[in-house]
Amino acid sequence: MSRPLRVGIVCPYSFDAPGGVQFHVRDLAQALQARGHEVSVLAPADEDTPVPDVVVPAGKAVAVRYNGSVARLTFGPRAAARVRRWVDAGRFDVLHLHEPMTPSLSMLALWIAEGPVVATFHTAQVRSRALQVAYPLLRQSLEKIAARIAVSEDARRMLVDHVGGDAVVIPNGVYVDTFAAAPTDPRWQGTPQAPTIAFLGRLDEPRKGLQVLVAAIPQILARHPGARFLIAGRGDAGRDEAIASLGAHAQSVTFLGGVSDEDKAALLSSVDLYIAPQTGGESFGIVLVEAMSAGAGVVASDLGAFRRVLDEGAAGALFRSEDPADLARVVNDAIEDRAGAGARREHARAWVRHFDWSSVTGQVEAVYEMAVAAGEAIPVRPDATLRAPRALRLLVEGRER
């Protein structure tokens, strides 16, 4: 960038239960600050929720079913008023909205925005009822967006199919060196006779695929009886269901519960294999990049997003999605074929550099520069909010009927 910018980033999902989008927003803000930009992040969060210094809490969120998961969102007149105050106080050179078609803060900020707007789209779905409902309400407001980013080709295709237009693909970033330098933990290290195999994700979200891994465990133990499975993530119902399904095999599984960022890095640095058995709804696969950065071998379902992150199988082994028998076969082969597994890990060490923040941040900055230049050439009309339907105008103006 030719000059430092004041950047306002809006995250639609709550930091009370952070996930991939929240971590991406947090790390992007930190990477931009390291390059001299002034950054503020607005995100849902309770007042007593610990958040990074760069995050401004926007209040309590409500849990709703969204995109095959449970999302914590903030919406309504009070949230709109907070967004407006934050935008007015920030006097941002560019406003960067994540998932602006999700009914939360980013959607409100889009209605309110009067300057250069960049939008990042994370979701990848073949069909999205939520987008079909939201699009008529947002069609005119979407014209405010000067530049669009998609985190993967899958997310870009969803945008093209549902909304029209196009987007530049910029992957999610990872601090590769942080994971590469993570210390190992003897509790989680394996041996040739007792390899350790890890899973991270919500245990009670079927699309995360724990049930696929659980169904494969007996077949893996049949060939490698010393294997140990380390399951990290929250969701008591999913844990209890997994234990019941495993029966006597449960003695080979350790449930770690939720883990900190530091423990996650140490876990990935220590285990022999990381398993990503997701069944759908994935637009990228940031944990695959983290696992590769930490030096773990990766076995993942053959979703389009995962294939691309794993360089079509060169950086990690792939199995047929939702097929426990094929997962077991690929895991067993990865344990036994040390030369092949080593070659994939070696390829991954170089491949992950594509996703390092040192590369990704520069690409985002280039998009900002384009958006700012477009805004200077064609200023947004000050009455742009008035193009929203009347009910939405009342909302963003902070009034209820």
Domain architecture of the chain: domains with CATH:
6-173+356-396 (3.40.50.2000), 176-354 (3.40.50.2000)
Question: What average pLDDT does the segment 270-292 reach?
Answer: 94
Residue that wins the pLDDT comparison between 126 and 306:
306
Does residue 196 surpass a pLDDT of 80?
Answer: yes
94, β-bridge pairs: 7
Give the C-alpha separation, 15 to 59, whole Å: 10
Using DSSP, state whether 60 is helix, strand or coil.
coil
The pLDDT of residue 59 is 83
Give the C-alpha separation, 224 to 218, whole Å: 10
Q: Which of 131-135, 149-153, 286-290 has the lowest mean pLDDT?
A: 131-135
pLDDT one-digit tens code per residue, 72-123: 777 888 899 999 999 999 999 999 999 998 888 999 999 899 899 999 999 8
Contacts of 40 (CB under 8 A, 6+ apart): 7, 8, 9, 54, 56, 86, 90, 92
The pLDDT of residue 400 is 41
Predicted confidence band of residue 141 (pLDDT cuts 50, 70, 90): confident
Does residue 213 surpass a pLDDT of 80?
Answer: yes
Give the C-alpha separation, 202 to 68, whole Å: 12
Rounded to a whole number of angstroms, the CA Rg of the chain reads 22
> Which sign does the torsion angle of CA 256, 260, 262, 268 carry?
positive
pLDDT one-digit tens code per residue, 316-371: 999 999 999 999 999 999 999 999 999 999 999 999 999 999 999 999 999 999 99
**b/e for 384-400, b at 16 or more Cβ within 10 A?**
bbeebeeebeebbebee
The pLDDT of residue 29 is 97
377, β-bridge pairs: none
Question: What average pLDDT does the segment 209-213 reach?
Answer: 97
What is the pLDDT of the chain when averaged over all its residues?
89
Q: Half-sphere exposure of 313 toward its Cβ, with a 13 Å CA cutoff?
A: 10
Please report which helix (H) or strand (E) contains residue 172, including its range: none
Phi and psi angles of residue 97, each rounded to the nearest 5 degrees, phi first: -105, 130
Question: What average pLDDT does the segment 273-297 reach?
Answer: 94
Closest CA to 217 of 247, 186, 258, 255: 247
Using DSSP, state whether 297 is helix, strand or coil.
strand
Q: Quick one: how many helices (H) and strands (E) in the chain? A: 15, 15
Phi and psi angles of residue 196, each rounded to the nearest 5 degrees, phi first: -105, 140
Question: What average pLDDT does the segment 5-26 reach?
Answer: 91
Contacts of 25 (CB under 8 A, 6+ apart): 9, 11, 41, 43, 98
Q: Quote the distance between the C-alpha of residue 189 and its chain's center.
A: 27
Q: In what order do the strands lie in the sheet with 196-200?
A: 253-257, 228-232, 196-200, 273-276, 297-301, 317-319
Contacts of 111 (CB under 8 A, 6+ apart): 80, 141, 385, 388, 392, 395, 396
Does residue 401 surpass a pLDDT of 50?
Answer: no
Q: Is 47 exposed, middle or buried (0-12, 13-18, 19+ CB in 10 A)?
A: exposed
Does residue 301 surpass a pLDDT of 90?
Answer: yes
Our CA angle for 59, 65, 70, nearest 5°, is: 65
The pLDDT of residue 163 is 78
The pLDDT of residue 68 is 57
For 150, other C-beta atoms within 10 Å of its C-beta total 26
